[in-house]
Amino acid sequence: MLTPPTDWALLSNRLLLLQELMVGLSKLRVEEVLRRAAAGVGWVFDGAALRVFEVGELEPAPLVSRGRVVLPGDGEAYVALFAGPPAPCYLALTGLALGEPREFRLAALFCEHLIAALEAAGYREALERQAHTDWLTGLPNQRSFEELARAPQGALLSEVGALGVLECCHDASGARGDLLLRRFAEALARALPAGARAFRTGTFQITVLLSAAAPSWDALEAALRRDALGIKSGWAHPGAGDDLAALVARASAALEAAPPAPPATPPVVRCGFGALQTLYTSWVRPLPAPASLVIDVPHGYAFDLLSGEGAPARPVLVLTEGASEPYLRDLAALSPEGLIAGRVTEAEVRVALERVAAGERFYQGPTLGDDGLFPREREVWRLVARGLSNAQIAGALGVREKTVANYVTSLQEKLHLSSRVALALRYLGRLEALEPP
Read off the pLDDT of residues 318-343 as tens digits, 9 standing for 90 and up.
999 878 888 999 999 999 999 999 88
Of the listed ranges 102-106, 178-182, 374-378, the least confidently predicted one is 178-182
Could you give the percent of the chain with pLDDT greater than 90?
24
Q: What CA–CA distances, in Å, run from 311 to 274, 294, 317, 419?
A: 17, 10, 12, 34
Closest CA to 163 of 200, 107, 210, 104: 210
Cβ proximity of 364 and 340 under 8 Å = yes
Count other C-beta atoms under 10 Å from residue 364's C-beta: 13
Q: Give the pLDDT of residue 170.
A: 60
Cα 285 from Cα 228, distance rounded (Å): 8
CATH class of segment(s) 14-131:
alpha beta
Cα 115 from Cα 108, distance rounded (Å): 10
Q: Give the pLDDT of residue 175.
A: 64
Closest CA to 157 of 247, 233, 217, 234: 247
What would the pLDDT profile of 149-176 be if each residue is shown by its tens digit?
Answer: 887 776 677 778 888 888 876 655 566 6
- For residue 68, report the phi and psi dihedrals to the nearest 5 degrees: -85, 130
Cα 413 from Cα 422, distance rounded (Å): 12
Element containing residue 187 per DSSP (H, E) = helix 174-191
Element containing residue 163 per DSSP (H, E) = strand 160-168
* Mean pLDDT of the 345-355 span: 85
- For the chain, the straight-line distance linking the first and the last C-alpha, in angstroms and rounded, comes to 86
Q: Give the pLDDT of residue 123.
A: 92
Which stretches of 28-144 are assigned E, i.e. beta strand? Answer: 49-54, 66-71, 75-82, 89-94
The secondary structure of 413-433 as a DSSP string is HHHT--SHHHHHHHHHT-HHH
CATH 3.30.70.270 correct for 158-257: yes
Cα 122 from Cα 30, distance rounded (Å): 6
The residues spanned by each domain of the chain are 14-131, 158-257, 268-364, 375-434
What would the pLDDT profile of 49-83 be if each residue is shown by its tens digit?
Answer: 999 998 878 766 666 788 888 887 778 899 999 99
**Which CATH number describes the domain made up of 375-434?**
1.10.10.10
Cβ proximity of 403 and 391 under 8 Å = no
Summary mean pLDDT of the chain: 83
